[in-house]
Amino acid sequence: MSNTAVRYLTMLRMVPRYPKSITTTELTERLDEQGFSVTMRSIQRDLEKLSIDFPLLVDESSRPFQWSFDREATMDIIPALDLPAALTFELAKAYLTPMLPPRALSHLKPHFDEAHRTLLREQNPLGQWPNRVRVINRGLSGQRPSIDSDVLETVTEALLREYRCELTYQARNWPEPAEIVVHPLGLIFRDPNVYLIGKIEGREGVRQLVLHRASGGKLVEKPLERPEDFDLDLYISSGAMGILHSRAPMFLHLRCDKPVLNHLIESPLGFDQVTTDIDENTFEITVTVGDTQDLRWWLTAQAVHCDILEPDWLREEISSTLEKGLSRTQKTG
């Protein structure tokens, strides 16, 4: 392949999808970093030539011109999707659609569409995949709150570029919205909400910001300050996303009914879980878990199928909750 052809391919990979864009000046600098020494005028001519065969858009209202790919464009310069790849995209669509905000999914729509067309073209049972698969969320999921598209774009760009971002945010217990500067550390999709994990300038500790409570955002092109000991997986496993009651781990001992709670054997509550069969109808587990609100909700819901053997204080707490609930449901008038 000629050096010019390689440069064309490299340059096309640098052009983002609309509404993002890149200027000819930026392209010149990035190509130079890749070892292609070419003038800005040459790049402009190259892009005009390539726009004949590729869905490139140009904004000529400012100088230098700004280039982007059409929002609905599929990348025909990559290999055609084979059946396994197309099936993978169909799986991703099925699982991600209930979880991701529409704006996030819109970036993947061209790829989903191409995968669907590939499956329909093939005389293969896989072509019936969309008619044979459904995703059902466990539990009750409320309607997903709407997230401001600019906020989502700002937060994701800040995370990728490791910059700070400024948000107009209304916490539940704040009297009015406030402008805050956030050092973003991670993004967690926990249906139905999307959480930005980060530090707020002027406030202590790592915070959870619910993105639908932000009404505006902009990128602050300053490097974020990341705590040396922060790890997103450790943060989640600590129980923080389950609404921590205490940072101290809890030793839990349960006696469970078969087969209703057999899934605890296949999906342990913790890495140190030990399971012991008692008889054909019962088993016990011991495990270290986070002291969270989610744990209490689960134990309350499973009260007819498991006994809390340890700790005593947690058994008493769940018993009190159930008694209050029973009293409430028995009220008349």
CA gap 63, 36 in Å, rounded:
22
- Check if the beta carbon of residue 323 is closer than 8 Å to that of residue 267: no
Residue 141 lies in a domain: no
pLDDT value at residue 300: 94
Last residue within a domain, chosen from 209, 231, 253 = 231
Percent of the chain with pLDDT over 90: 23
Q: What is the CATH number of the domain that holds 254?
A: 3.30.70
5 pLDDT band, cuts 50/70/90, is: confident
Distances (CA, A) of 268 to 32, 258, 275, 287: 52, 15, 9, 9
pLDDT value at residue 60: 85
Residue predicted with more confidence, 54 or 182: 182
pLDDT value at residue 312: 95
Residue 176 lies in a domain: yes
Distances (CA, A) of 199 to 165, 220, 288: 11, 14, 28
Domain range enclosing 293: 238-329
Last residue within a domain, chosen from 45, 69, 93 = 69
- On the question of pLDDT at 15 being above 80, the answer is yes
Order across the sheet with 22-23: list the strands.
22-23, 66-69, 56-59
Lowest mean pLDDT among 147-156, 185-194, 198-207, 288-297: 185-194
In this structure, are 285 and 226 located in the same domain? no
Residue 299 lies in a domain: yes
Q: In sequence order, which ranges of the chain are alpha helices (DSSP H)?
A: 3-14, 24-33, 40-50, 83-96, 102-106, 109-121, 149-161, 232-237, 263-266, 293-301, 312-330
DSSP SS3 for 61: coil
What is the overall mean pLDDT for the chain?
82
- On the question of pLDDT at 275 being above 70, the answer is yes
- Which amino acid does the sequence have at 253? H
- Check if the beta carbon of residue 157 is closer than 8 Å to that of residue 103: no
The pTM of this model reads 0.57
In this structure, are 261 and 304 located in the same domain? yes
- The structural domain count of the chain equals 4
- On the question of pLDDT at 72 being above 90, the answer is no
Last residue within a domain, chosen from 231, 246, 261 = 231
pLDDT value at residue 236: 77
Contacts of 226 by beta carbon, 8 Å cutoff, 6+ apart: 162, 183, 185
pLDDT value at residue 243: 65
In this structure, are 253 and 192 located in the same domain? no
Residue 74 lies in a domain: no
129 pLDDT band, cuts 50/70/90, is: low
Residue predicted with more confidence, 220 or 14: 220
Residue predicted with more confidence, 100 or 225: 225
CA gap 242, 206 in Å, rounded:
15
In this structure, are 26 and 93 located in the same domain? no
Question: For 166-177, how does the pLDDT look when each residue is reduced to its tens digit (9 = 90+)?
Answer: 999 998 888 899
Task: Report residue 214 as tokens.
Answer: 């932000």
Residue 142 lies in a domain: no
pLDDT value at residue 166: 94
309 pLDDT band, cuts 50/70/90, is: very high
Question: For 250-263, how does the pLDDT look when each residue is reduced to its tens digit (9 = 90+)?
Answer: 899 999 999 889 88
CA gap 184, 189 in Å, rounded:
15
pLDDT value at residue 194: 82
- On the question of pLDDT at 285 being above 70, the answer is yes
